């Protein structure tokens, strides 16, 4: 699966219509989910990843209602507001890895919107110089990392394919 899917107005890319349909489905699947809605001025590079997406007081978090893509216009409702809102896009970029959609407005060329699902926050556990053990258990490989000082054990179960991928990443 591709990390990013892009649709652009007047593009000759043969996947443009397919990409728009994938974005349409993603947008519709936001129904009744909490999203973050952020608006920024495009950087000179035009790359949204160059922007600071840390939350500001102008950003909104709300449960989106009735998200729909009709043609090239995104429609939605905010909770408790009967008025349907919309924005017509000149470009849409769906980042599947980060679960967010970048919307480049037709009306405001210098503005970019980012609609995102709340990010999962992972807790990091740091084990320094743990005791490591490994056991093959059928099709799986079981790694155990023990830290005596913390009295903590981390058990990681990987398939043979996942072990191969891990080995390849070390090379």
Helix and strand tally (H, E) in the chain?
A: 2, 11
Give the start-to-end residue ranges of the domains of the chain: 4-116, 131-170
Position 118 scores a pLDDT of 80
Report the alpha-carbon distance of residue 103 to residue 90 in Å, rounded. Answer: 8
Position 45 scores a pLDDT of 87
How far out from the chain centre does Cα 93 lie? 11
Length of the chain: 171
pLDDT in tens, 136-156: 888 889 999 998 888 888 989
- Domain 4-116 coded CATH 1.10.3470: no
Position 55 scores a pLDDT of 85
Low-confidence ranges of the chain (pLDDT < 50): none
Q: Which of 93, 92, 60 is closest to 78 using CA atoms? A: 60
Give the pTM.
0.69
């Amino acid at each position: 699966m591709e990390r990013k899917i892009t649709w652009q107005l007047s593009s000759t890319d043969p996947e443009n219509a397919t990409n728009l349909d994938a974005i349409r489905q993603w947008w519709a699947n936001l129904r009744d989910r909490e999203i973050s809605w952020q608006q920024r001025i495009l950087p000179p590079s035009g790359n949204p990843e160059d922007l600071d997406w840390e939350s500001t007081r102008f950003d909104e978090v709300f449960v989106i209602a009735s998200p729909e893509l009709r043609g090239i216009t995104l429609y939605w409702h905010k909770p408790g507001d009967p008025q349907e809102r919309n924005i017509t896009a000149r470009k849409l970029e769906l980042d599947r890895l980060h679960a967010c959609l970048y919307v480049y407005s037709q009306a405001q060329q210098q503005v970019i919107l980012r609609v995102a699902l709340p990010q999962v926050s992972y807790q990091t556990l740091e084990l320094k110089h743990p005791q490591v053990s490994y056991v093959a258990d059928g099709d799986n490989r079981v790694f155990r990392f023990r830290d005596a000082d913390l009295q903590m054990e981390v058990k990681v179960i990987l398939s043979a394919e996942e072990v191969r991928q891990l080995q390849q990443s070390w090379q």
